[in-house]
Every structure is written in structure tokens, then in C-alpha cells.
Amino acid sequence: MLRLFPAITVIVLLLPVLAGLIGTVAPGFGYFPAVGGTSLSVQPFRDLFDWAGFRPALSLSLRTGLIATAASLIITMVLLAGWHGTRAFRWVERVLSPLLSAPHAAAAFGIAFLIAPSGWIVRALSPWATGWERPPDLLIVQDPGGWAMIAGLVAKEVPFLMLMSLAALPQTAPEHSLRITAALGYGRVAGWFKAIFPRLYARIRLPVYAVLAYSLSVVDVAIILGPNTPPPLAVQVVKWMGDPDLSMRLVASAGAVVQLVLVIGVLCLWRLMELAVTYAGLHAIYGGHRMRRDGAVRAAGLGLGAMSAGMVILGLAGLAVWSVAGFWSFPNALPDAISSRSWMRFGPDLLHPLNHTFVIAGAATGIALILTIACLEAEHRHALTPASRSLWILYLPLLVPQVAFLPGLQAITLLLGGGTHLGMVVLGHLVFVLPYVFLSLAGPWRQWDARFDTVGAALGVTPNARFWRVRMPMMVAPVLTALAVGLAVSVGQYLPTLLIGGGRIQTITTEAVALASGGDRRVIGVAGLVQTGAAMVGFAAALLLPRMLWRNRRGMRG
């Protein structure tokens, strides 16, 4: 029975993606029975290419995606190269979890509030430095260049890449290498990039690809921070998907196909860039430059890292202040009056979506945990060794753009009997929750000292009893962390709910993003804060429960 679970898990990951892809691609070539399209045609693509915004949208996606990914990777690596293992780095580790658990949409709103003409940054500089007595009429948020959106992506991607790097680093034993490069006279940063980066990058390649694919296809952050005339391609596809005119679905599907091709193409391009960097890197290594004076680089790394973290933290603080702000005149740093009116007025409306949020998140995370634990336990009991391609399968849902397969899933739901199934929405969330839950739990599970199990067996205890009486209790903390990760991922999901639910199922995230166009700061503050709270609730439990449970067990504390 247990042996079947790895296969079941692969099916749960692959089937929705593949079926969804087919269901999305088919209408792109004119096959969409709902509007009478039953023959193949390339008309949807002609309509797409005729859209005046097509080229700008495409180049915007390409530019923001590439720049955000490259910047995130560079900031992460310079921060690691300059500071890993130092006292200052403990701060990086400390702010990592809260930064990671803040949902993309809430972080984007926070950044929008921070950099907006009436945001804290302008307020802090006015009027003494800027001379502005009123908020300036500048397009800072949703700027046509997409820089605000890039900032929003970088702020969320640096913590992710940092987490992945920190997980992979111990295998490269960086302190040994750094001691040697230092003894050979290399500066810290040069030693790191020449001796450790190549090995580290090989281990975080898939997360980097996931970040790249995500940045190219992101929708919620783009709606909040990105330009909208035209928006990035993925956002336009979602707009067309929601068009009351059903025939626009065909153009949307054609757009989704282009989005998929874009991501595949850019991943290939990135691979080529990797080769170029490898070549240049080898050249640099042969050159033997010591680069001992790297203080400026280290400072820049720390500064950029602090900036990207500071944006999120100050942004969330800004959401909190706006949510309780009464009248707030420019350029005061704090509201003139504090009031609970926004919470009283909008809070109750959020209870219903919040309820949906937790039902969906709970179901998706619960299923993901069961599948993950069953797979890992099957691996342990039957001494299976996971193939290296299994990691690719795990990452597949994170590499394929969401707009390229979620609409197809909805189309299939409609074919299977119409209506909006909460179950299908849960399945849509599961596809994204499962990889993160698995990645979070697999490390601690596999590192467990299997001799505890040998002892249990020698004491005459059966495998199932050992699982419940030894393994699970010892794994409580990592399981709770995986649960928290799963909940946070699900709470933050925007497109799976929107596209599979057909707009009829509201979660706190779809509600929050929908508020973006309204621009009411106070209600956005309330919604963004509730969304952040919902995503963090699991982490609080994962932190507190084991401490309470193992209050009298010193061996169970980290």
C-alpha cells in the first residue's frame, strides 16, 4: 500500500498540469466547443498578434522577469559571499521566515504604499528636501518601466533564494573552502565566488528556474505594482479569461500558449547564460586575482539585502498604520487620528473569504502532508532511493506558468459537469502546496537517525507502531513547519482560486487583489494585514506548539 504513494504523488503533481495544459492550449488553436469552435485554426493567434499591446506586453514580461531574477540572485549571492557565517548574518537568518511567509500580494501592497507619492518615503523627505506641500503627481507605482514591480518581486525572491541556498550550503562545507581561499590570499567575496558559488549554484538551479518562471508569469504582484497600459502578458491573459465575451477565451488561450513558449525560451536562454558565466568564471579563476579590497562589494550586498527586507517590513507596517488611520494629512509621518472604523466597516466582510481561505488551505495542506509523509515513509521502509528526476517532477508545477494550465483545469471542470467545485480549487492549490510541503519536510525526515528505528525493531515493535510511537513524535516540529509552509503557500495563491473557481470562490487573497483597482488605502490595509495574518498563523503554531509539547524534553529542542 505504502509503496503506491510515490506514484500517486507523481500523478497528483503531473496530471493537473498536463491536463490543464491541453485544456488551455486547445482553445488557442480554435478548439473551444462552448463557443462553437470545433475546428482547428490559427485565428486566435492572429487576433493576439493584432492586439496593439502585444509587443510591449511581451517585452515588459521579458524585461521584468529577467531583471528581477538576475537581481534577486545577485543580491542573494553577494550577501552570502560577504557575510555568511558572520555576526551580521544572524540578522539575515532572523528576518528570513517572516519575509518568506508574508504573501506576495500583501508585500506588494505594502511596497506600493511605501513608494507611492503619498507614501512614507516621500513624506519623510517632504517638504524639507523636496519642497512638496502636497503629494506629487508622479507615477511611481505602476510605472511604465515596471521598476516598482521588479522591486516587489526582488523583495520576495531574495528571501526564497536565501532559504534555498542556506539549505544547500552545508553540503558544500563553505567554511573549509573559505579558510583555504583566505590562506591563499583571496578576498572573502572573490574566494566565495570562485570556490563556493559554482557548487552552490548547481544545487539551487531548480529554485532559480522556478523564480525565473514565476517572475515572467506573475499576475498578482503585477496587478498591484506593474504598469497596466499594457500590463505584462500574463495579466492581460487573465483579463481576457475573465471577459464576459466568451470568444475572448480563444485569444486568452493563444496568449497563454505564447506565455508558455516565452517561459521555455527564457529558461533556455538562461541556460546559455549559465554556460557563458561558467566560461567567464573559469577564466577568472585561472586569472587568480585575489581582490582583497572587497569592502565596497560587501557593503553593497548588505545594503541591498537590507533594502529589500526593509521594503517588505516597512510596507507591512504601513499597511497596519493605514488600516487604523483616520484623517492623515501630508506630509505627516503618522495619521492625525487613529480609528478602528476601517476594521469595523470592512472586517466583517472579510470573514466569509477568510473562512474559504482556511477551508481550502487546510484541505490542500492536509492532503499534501499525507502524500509527503507516505512517500517519505515508503522511501524509508522499502529503502527506495529517489531518482534525480523526481526533483524535476516536484518543481514542474512551479516552472510551468500558472496561466498556461489553470484555465484548462477550469475548462475540464466545466466539461465534467459544470458548476464550480471547491474540490477542483483545492486540487489547484494542492499542485502548488505539495512541492513546498515536500521540500520542507524531506530534509529533516531523511536526516533522522534510522538507528532509532533499528532499536525499536530490536525491541519487538512493528513498523506501524514505530511510525506512530517513535517517528511521528520525533518529527512533530518539522511536520508543523511543513504544515505552516503549506498553509502560507495556499493562503497566498491568487490565480488557482480565481481561474479554477471561475470568480465565484473568494479567498482573502482574491479579495485583496480585487481591491487594488479601487485604491482605498484603508480597506487595502485591513485586507493586506488579514492576509498576512492568515499566512503567518501556521508559523506561530509551528514555533509555539513544540515548545509547549516538549517543555520537559531537552533532547527535543533543536
**Can you give the binding site for other proteins, defined by CB under 8 A?**
383, 385, 449-463, 469-470, 473-474, 476, 550, 552-556
Is 241 in a helix, a strand, or coil?
helix
CB closer to other proteins out of 283 and 554:
554
Instruction: Give dist(CA 391, CA 169) in Å, integer.
Output: 18
**Which residue is listed with cell 529558461?**
267
The least CB distance from residue 190 to other proteins, in Å, is 38
The least CB distance from residue 142 to other proteins, in Å, is 52
Cell representation of residue 336: 492625525
The least CB distance from residue 450 to other proteins, in Å, is 8
CB closer to other proteins out of 173 and 455:
455
Q: Measuring CA to CA, which residue among 404, 492, 426, 462 is closest to residue 25?
A: 404
Instruction: Give dist(CA 347, CA 354) in Å, integer.
Output: 10
Tell me the one-letter amino acid at 236: Q
CB closer to other proteins out of 55 and 547:
547
> Which residues are within 8 A (CB) of 146 and not within 5 positions of it... i.e. 6 or more apart?
60, 63, 64, 226, 227, 232
CB closer to other proteins out of 332 and 464:
464
Cα separation values, 459 from 356, 452, 465, Å: 46, 11, 12
The least CB distance from residue 479 to other proteins, in Å, is 13
Instruction: Give dist(CA 112, CA 73) in Å, integer.
Output: 23
Peptide bond into 127 cis (omega under 30): yes
Is 245 in a helix, a strand, or coil?
coil
The least CB distance from residue 470 to other proteins, in Å, is 6
Instruction: Give dist(CA 536, CA 485) in Å, integer.
Output: 9
Is 504 in a helix, a strand, or coil?
coil
What angle do helix axes 521-549 and 104-115 make, rounded to 10 degrees?
Answer: 130
CB closer to other proteins out of 233 and 378:
378
The least CB distance from residue 439 to other proteins, in Å, is 23
Is 230 in a helix, a strand, or coil?
coil
159, 211 contact by CB (below 8 A)? no
Q: Measuring CA to CA, which residue among 233, 199, 231, 229 is closest to residue 217?
A: 233
CB closer to other proteins out of 39 and 388:
388
| Four-residue CA torsion sign, 105, 109, 110, 115 | positive
Sequence-ordered alpha helix ranges (H) in 448-507: 451-458, 463-466, 472-474, 476-492, 495
CB closer to other proteins out of 276 and 450:
450
CB closer to other proteins out of 279 and 452:
452
The least CB distance from residue 393 to other proteins, in Å, is 22
Tell me the one-letter amino acid at 337: A
The least CB distance from residue 17 to other proteins, in Å, is 31
The least CB distance from residue 538 to other proteins, in Å, is 22
312, 99 contact by CB (below 8 A)? yes
The least CB distance from residue 458 to other proteins, in Å, is 5
The least CB distance from residue 477 to other proteins, in Å, is 11
CB closer to other proteins out of 134 and 557:
557
83, 298 contact by CB (below 8 A)? yes
219, 238 contact by CB (below 8 A)? yes
CB closer to other proteins out of 329 and 552:
552
The least CB distance from residue 366 to other proteins, in Å, is 23
Instruction: Give dist(CA 373, CA 440) in Å, integer.
Output: 11
Cell representation of residue 456: 525499536
H or E, element range at 24: helix 5-28
CB closer to other proteins out of 277 and 461:
461
CB closer to other proteins out of 4 and 457:
457
